[in-house]
Amino acid sequence: MSPTTPMYRVGPGHFETDEARLQKALERYHEGKGLIGGDPRRRPRWLHPLPPEPARAFRLHQSSPEHLQRLQTFLHHRPLEIEIGSGRGDFILDWAARHPRRHFLAFEVKYKLMRRIVLKAEKQGLGNLWATDDDARYDLPRLLPPASVSVFHILFPDPWWKPKHQARRLFVPPFVDVLGLLLEPGGILRVATDVPGYGDYIVELVEGHPDFLPHDPALAERFADAAPTSRQAFCDEIGRPYTYYFFAKRSS
């Protein structure tokens, strides 16, 4: 194992969903059930202070109105790509540097990782990347209008194995609705996972959604020069297989 590659847990061999329990939890989805860190409106301000404004980090309920206005101006730019669950930022920092004319937003709920991304972006002089440690499921429907995103990158999302944690998964019907709404026609949902059962579940969910076309492996070409994420590098080192999926948003 290379000294720079973090160790990750690989989890159990099988992936299951307790549908009855998940459905029950999803009845309270719009009240914030499953949000990581709880309701962001009740988050204490003194905990984990953000890098001082105007650094390109924000929280929907803590940043100043001026800063949120700066963010809105940034988000008006097209094309706009969003990564959800950026981890150490290995992919998004490299991708933003390769595509200076695009704008990027990184969601990473772990404060230290989000901060790392913001500081590294600053050091690299990247003016086209903002980040937040808000839960993406809370912010996205409140932050962006329909058809405003050209690519969503969701790479190696947490499977949340335990039945009581299923509601924290990104791939649940109400969030796939949000992804479909926010993608522009022809926009791409790019997903990777090393948990085969979760991969099957994602394919079933997204392909069964009226906004999306079936997984199209040919779309991989557009991302051929993307840097691996840190979880991907770990899988490569231990020889653990993973799969990338590409779902385009239907044009009508």
Show the tokens assigned to 126: 């990247």
Map the footprint of ligand SAM across residues 155-174, applying CB under 6 A: 155-158, 170
**Under a CB-based contact definition with an 8 Å cutoff, are residues 211 and 183 in contact?**
yes
The residues, ordered by sequence, that sit 6+ positions from 208 with a Cβ below 8 Å of its Cβ are: none
By beta-carbon proximity to ligand SAM, the closer residue of 240 and 250 is 240
Window 88-117: contact mask with ligand SAM (x via CB under 6 A):
-------------------xxxx--x----
Neighbouring C-beta atoms of residue 76, cutoff 10 Å: 12
Does 211 participate in binding ligand SAM (rule CB under 6 A)?
Answer: no
By beta-carbon proximity to ligand SAM, the closer residue of 150 and 230 is 230
Q: Which of 36, 55, 68, 97 binds ligand SAM (CB under 6 A)?
A: 36
Which strands make up the sheet holding 243-248, listed edge to edge? 57-58, 129-132, 103-107, 80-84, 149-155, 183-193, 243-248
Instruction: Please report how close the Cβ of residue 249 comes to ligand SAM at its closest, in angstroms.
Output: 21
By beta-carbon proximity to ligand SAM, the closer residue of 150 and 232 is 232
Instruction: Please report how close the Cβ of residue 33 comes to ligand SAM at its closest, in angstroms.
Output: 13
- What are φ and ψ of residue 74, in 5° steps? -60, -45
Does 67 participate in binding ligand SAM (rule CB under 6 A)?
Answer: no
Q: Which of 183, 110, 88, 111 is nearest to 145 (CA)?
A: 183
Distance CA 145, CA 141 (A): 8
Position of minimal CB gap to ligand SAM: 85
Q: What share of the chain is helix, strand, coil (3-state, %, to 5)?
A: 40, 15, 45
Size, binding site for ligand SAM by CB under 6 A: 22
From the list 11-19, 41-49, 94-102, 131-139, the region that binds ligand SAM by CB under 6 A is 131-139
Map the footprint of ligand SAM across residues 213-242, applying CB under 6 A: 229-232
State the alpha helices, DSSP H only, in 84-188.
90-98, 111-123, 136-143, 173-182
Q: Is 94 a catalytic residue?
A: no
Q: Which of 158, 194, 216, 225 is catalytic?
A: 158
By beta-carbon proximity to ligand SAM, the closer residue of 164 and 186 is 164
**Under a CB-based contact definition with an 8 Å cutoff, are residues 30 and 174 in contact?**
yes
What is the set of active-site residues?
158
Q: For binding to ligand SAM (CB under 6 A), which residues are involved?
A: 36, 84-87, 107-110, 113, 135-137, 155-158, 170, 229-232
